[in-house]
Structure 1
Amino acid sequence: MSYQPVFAQFWEKVKESIQNGTYAKLTLAKTIGDTELKNIYVRPVLNDDIFSLSITARYKTEEVESFHTIDETFIILAPFMNNPFLTALLFTTENDITFKLNKKRVGSIVEQAPTFKNASDVILEMKAKGISI
């Protein structure tokens, strides 16, 4: 069974959290073995009141940042699941949502109590300015 449909469900929760104004941050973590790429962080950005997502890929020796739409971000992140990452963590003000791949590479979504009390500063700024995506 493929994990992609479950990751697509997880991504819907990411989009909902941005639209609801509860998004705090998103991290891809827990690599398979010792890899060059250590983490990927996704945070919202406003440039001239235009919303995009910043993807920061943290390698052993450098960080690379790029900016994308929500849909582009999904296309960029999806191939990193299972190679090299086994976990994607979405932090919202309502709950923490974790997408995990087990040893058989079956995906699951787990929800826990929230780590963050406040949404991302950019999300709060968007709410204040009445900007929606």
Structure 2
Amino acid sequence: MSYEPIFALFWERVKQSIEDKTFAKLTLAKTIGDTELKNIYVRPVLLENNLMRMSIIARYKTEEMESFHSLDEAYPILASYMNNPFLSALLFTTDNDVVFKLNKKRTGSISEQAPTFKSASDVILEMKEKGL
């Protein structure tokens, strides 16, 4: 079974956490072997016109590159990094931590753990205050 449908379900959890204002951060981690790309961090940013974008920070061995995308644009970008080189994606929310993992057979699974963060990201909190 391909992992893509499971990752799509994971992405629905990401979107729901933003809608529910519980999103803290999203991280792609656990690379396959020694790669130049070490992590990808995703956080919401609020632009001057109160438009939310996702900041995607790709952390390499020697540099960081940041790009900004809508939530819908971010999905195919992040999905393209799963299984090449990342084996896990961690969604941190104030309700729980949701972990997407690929096993050795590259089958995806989703699990939940107790929340790491007690409050949502600053941008989510600002959006809550502004009623966005």
TM-score band, normalised by shorter chain: over 0.9
- After superposition, residues 1-133 of structure 1 pair within 5 angstroms as 1-48=1-48, 49-131=50-132
* Paired-residue identity, %: 74
Per-residue CA deviations over 1:92-124 (Å, capped at 9, x if unaligned) read: 000000000000000000001000000000000
- Could you tell me the TM-score, scaled by structure 1's length? 0.98
| 1:11-35 Cα distance to aligned partner (Å, 9 max, x none) | 0000000000000000000000000
Separation in 1, partners of 2:99, 2:3: 14
Distance in 2 (CA, whole Å) between partners of 1:76 and 1:33 is 21
Give 1:36 shift: 0.4
SS at match of 1:123: helix
The amino acid of 1:38's aligned partner reads K
Q: Please list every run of 5 or more consecutive structure 1 residues that lacks an aligned counterpart in the other structure.
A: none
Q: What is the alpha-carbon root mean square deviation over aligned residues?
A: 0.3
TM-score (norm 2): 0.99
- Alpha-carbon distance between aligned partners in 2 of 1:59 and 1:19, rounded to the nearest angstrom: 30
User: Aligned residue pairs: how many?
Assistant: 131
The aligned amino acid for 2:44 is: P
Cα separation, 2, equivalents of 1:102 and 1:7: 13
